Each structure stands twice: as structure tokens, then as C-alpha cells.
Amino acid sequence: MKRKLVAAVLAIALGAGTAATAFAQVKPEQLVKQRQAKMTLQGKYWGPLAGMLKGAVPYDANVVARNAGFLEALSKMAWDGFDESTKGVKSAALPVVWTDAAKFKQAQDQFQSAVTALVAASKTGDEAKVKAAIGDVGKNCGGCHDSFREKS
């Protein structure tokens, strides 16, 4: 029974495309797929915040707090997917990701700091502060996209 359960659990893990073994054995294509999945979800939770900043979506402090929390988790999920093994896989990542790892790391850190600051701001109940923090996250999205990602 235990064996059957374990087999089922593994089947699910493998079915989801993730090797249930060491990280280094995950296929490069899967690493890129995971990076892109992170971007898809980041877009989901970022979109309404950008809309609030523009005034296209009504300001909602609860949505900001929820989305900021999700963005904080998501903001940590892609970086380990930029493994050397993915260099040859088609993606929007520019070569500078590999040639200037220090600058890429700096952009990651700045982005994560901006998201952490947004989480903190979302707890103050101060709409002006929250909107400034949203703007700062947006600037860091843009900064990273400009330098490290192909224009779409």
C-alpha cells in the first residue's frame, strides 16, 4: 500500500514534468518552462496592481496585500532556473544573462527588494505609499526586461 502510494506520488511528480531527482537532472527545457510559468503567474498578480497605479482598476488594499504576498513568493522562483544547461534553449533571455552574471544578480536583488518593500507598504494602509511601492516594482520589472529580455 505504501509502495503503491509512493509510486502514485512519483507518477504525479513526473507527470508534472519535474524529475523527482536532484535538481541538476531536470531537463533544460523544463527549467525554461518553469521560468516562463513564473512569468505567467507574475503577470497575473502584477497586472491588477499596474491597473490600480494607472487608475484603470479601482484601488483595493486587500487585493494589493494578497497579490504582493504572491509576488514575493514568485519573485524567488525563477533564478535557479537560469542554469548553464539552459543556454541553448530558445527563450527570451538575452546573452547578457550569462555574460554579466553580476549585473543580472543585482537586478534580481533590486527586484526582490522592491517586492519586499511593496509587501511592507501594503501593511501600512497608506494608499500613497502603496502606489509609490507599486511604481517602484514596475520600474524594476522594466529595468530587468530592458537589459535581460528580448523585446516582445
**Which spans of this chain sit near a second copy (rule: CB under 8 A)?**
5-6, 8-10, 12-23, 26, 33-34, 36-44, 46-48, 50-51, 53-54, 56-57, 69-70, 73-74, 76-77, 135, 138-139, 141-142, 145, 152
Q: Based on CB atoms, which residue is closest to a second copy, 99 or 141?
A: 141
**Smallest distance from a second copy to CB 98, Å:** 21
* Least CB distance to a second copy at residue 44 (A): 5
Alpha-carbon torsion angle 139, 141, 146, 148, nearest 10:
140
Q: What's the min distance (Å) between Cβ of 64 and a second copy?
A: 14
* Cα–Cα separations (whole angstroms), residue 145 to 15, 34, 104: 31, 18, 11
Cβ distance 52 to 58 under 8 Å?
A: yes
Tell me the residue length of the chain: 152
